[in-house]
Copies of this chain bind each other. A is one copy, B any other.
Amino acid sequence: MAVMNYRGEEMRNLSVDGARLWKSLMDMAEIGATPKGGSRRLALSDSDRQGRDLFVRWCREAGCSIRVDRMGNIFARRPGKDESRPPVMMGSHLDTQPSGGKFDGVYGVLAGLEVIRTLNDHGYESDSPVELAVWTNEEGARFAPSMIGSGVFAGTYSIEKGLACADVDGTTIGEELRRIGYAGDDPCGGRPIRAFFEAHIEQGPILEAEGKTIGVVTGAQGLRWYDVTVGGMDSHAGTTPMDRRRDAMAGAARMLVAAERIGKTTPGAVTTVGMLRVVPSSRNVVPGEVFFTVDARHPDGDTLAAMDAALRGSFAEIAQQADLKLAIETVTDTAPVVFDEGCVDAVRQAAEGSGYPCRDIVSGAGHDACFINEVAPTAMIFVPCKDGISHNEIESAAPDDLTAGCNVLLRVVLTAAEW
């Protein structure tokens, strides 16, 4: 038990500099700062480049060597006593949503930097080398799919697919990496990693509501994304009797109610209709076509499959009753993620050993850690965020909670460095 040995004693005394971590977060947030206090650093934009440059400068100042792989993933390395051992890795992402906050992703990167700075402060030598990763295009706001940098690293996507991802203007990741100077030479992935830990704000309300400081993340929900198109018949709103209509909007409304009911009646499930478009979209025309999206998530794969069946069944019944055409396309199908037991235990022990109130939690969102989990023992550390709000300029987190999560990250990294 690492926590009991000499170095363990030292570990218990070792703590990060919360003020320094906070200042780094605020300094990074200045890049692409938005009016309401958030940040806009779309992947591989000029502001993303500035954020990367600042990160690289900080890491070099902390004595790290820098490597960049072909997907533009950045790795800052602090040597270990035994350089032949695979590294313990920390990290997350620096890109943001169009109207993103200061903490989503950035916290996991700069908490890792604070860990390295703390090790430097104490001249601490870890057995294994420690690396800090910045993954490319986690948000997916500019280039779909999201988490492409970690996805290629984990072998989920090919390097060709990754570099060919294009934004709405047709500009590819490969082109933008060259433009901003982050098209590295290292192969993307294919090397051993002893363990990977990602610290992140919860992006949900649970920890705050329960007064917990640390979320011990045991895995991530499965996710299915659907594109649904309902086809009816345009007709005149004033002259078409109700019983002669094929109203795509009225039918879609009943499908939305069914989707919400399935989310509410399945314990642990969430269902969301985030986009809806009406054609022709005129206030006095009975709509002939409606397109909408469904986002369905659950931590258990079988339950998610049952939700899929329930959605399809209720949509089909509604369409049949209303004489409407129905097309359902599954655009994303991500299985639930279960993190490494040893890594999860290490997080739980570090949190409890530090006296932080904690609870096990399943991530509602996708993270780079979900992909890295495929190629390395992985876990995540959640800290509360204000009102559970994320992907929003007003996203906020308490300095003490951020410090606590960073201390847990420090301790699990030191533990894993001895594995």
Contact = CB atoms under 8 A, between A and B. Distances in A.
Interface in A378-417: 388-392
B391 A285 contact: yes
Interface string A203-238: 111100000000000000101010000000111111
A237 B390 CA distance: 9
B286 A240 contact: no
A225 B282 CA distance: 12
Given A235-B389, A236-B388, 10 more contacts: A203-B236, A204-B241, A205-B244, A235-B390, A236-B389, A243-B264, A249-B274, A250-B257, A272-B284, A272-B286
A276 interface: yes
Interface in A53-83: none
A365 B282 CA distance: 14
Contact of A280 (B99, B144, B288, B364): B99
A233 B295 CA distance: 17
Given A247-B260, A250-B260, A274-B249, A237 B282 contact: no
Given A240-B364, A365-B236, A366-B238, A274 B285 contact: yes
A223 B223 CA distance: 44
Nearest to A144: B283
Interface in A73-112: 97-99
B273 A364 contact: no
Contact of A237 (B235, B237, B272): B272
Nearest to A204: B239
Given A244-B205, A250-B256, A274-B286, A280 B238 contact: no
Nearest to A104: B236
Interface string A311-337: 000000000000000000000000000
Contacts of A284: 139-141, 146, 225, 272, 274, 295, 365, 391
Among A98, A146, A239, A275, the one with the most B-chain Cβ atoms within 10 Å of its Cβ is A239
A247 B275 contact: no
A297 interface: yes
Given A288-B392, A391-B236, A270 B282 contact: no
Contact of A206 (B241, B276, B366): B241
Contacts of A260: 242, 247, 250, 253
B253 A257 contact: yes
Interface in A132-155: 139-141, 144, 146
Contact of A221 (B238, B263, B391): B238
A82 B292 CA distance: 62
A273 B285 contact: no
B366 A225 contact: no
Contacts of A366: 238
Chain B CB within 10 Å, residue with most, of A242, A287, A390: A242
A278 interface: yes
A156 interface: no
A39 interface: no
Given A274-B278, A278-B275, A282-B274, A238 B295 contact: yes
